[in-house]
Amino acid sequence: MSIREDKKTTRKRFKPSWAPGEPDYDPLLPYGPKVYLARKKKADPWWILALEIAVVILVICFFIYMYYYIDHLHYHVTRAYAHIGSSDAQHVLAHKYLRGKGVEQDETEAMKWFRTAADNGHAHAAYNLVSGHMQGFDVDLAEHEIEGYLKIAHENGIEEATRSLKNMMPHKY
């Protein structure tokens, strides 16, 4: 037998004094005598409490604002997305300006947003832009641009654009 094997067999495994079979063991205690209790938490400073109350009041005020002024809120959210570059948001914003929903009615601004959305590839906006031009709105649309915008709408499956192309240029479509 080598010295290593001798040390392995004689080495005792550590047992805490409160383990079963040891002198401090008490069977009435479910986890042994060494149970650490949680310390009492210190109270938060006054400014944290004030901050929490302010946040709750602001959230309640925002919910009241949302309830009574949803069109105004939707306008601002849509406008933010439109400025980021979303063609869908630009199209919705143009309709808001056209109808005056959540914002003062402004056909010129509506046509500007229809043009921006159409330039970003939105098919319905392209058709609405041409439709606005045909109805006499201030669109600033040249005659040679009409076919291009109608073609964008036609290629994306808008039937009104297809009919308009057939009526305007029966020899091509």
List, for residues 12-54, the tens digit of each pLDDT value. Answer: 778 777 677 887 777 777 765 666 666 788 888 999 999 999 9
Domain that includes residue 156, residue range: 46-168
Closest CA relative to residue 139, chosen from 147, 148, 128, 150:
128
pLDDT tens digit sequence for 138-165: 888 888 898 899 999 989 989 999 898 8
Q: How far apart are CA 121 and CA 112, in angstroms?
A: 15
Distances (CA, A) of 140 to 95, 125, 171: 18, 15, 27
Domain of 54: which CATH number? 1.25.40.10
pTM: 0.66
Structurally, the chain folds into a number of domains equal to 1
Q: Considering the domain boundaries, does residue 25 fall inside one?
A: no
Total Cβ atoms within 10 A of residue 1: 6
- pLDDT at position 32 is 58
Q: Considering the domain boundaries, does residue 27 fall inside one?
A: no
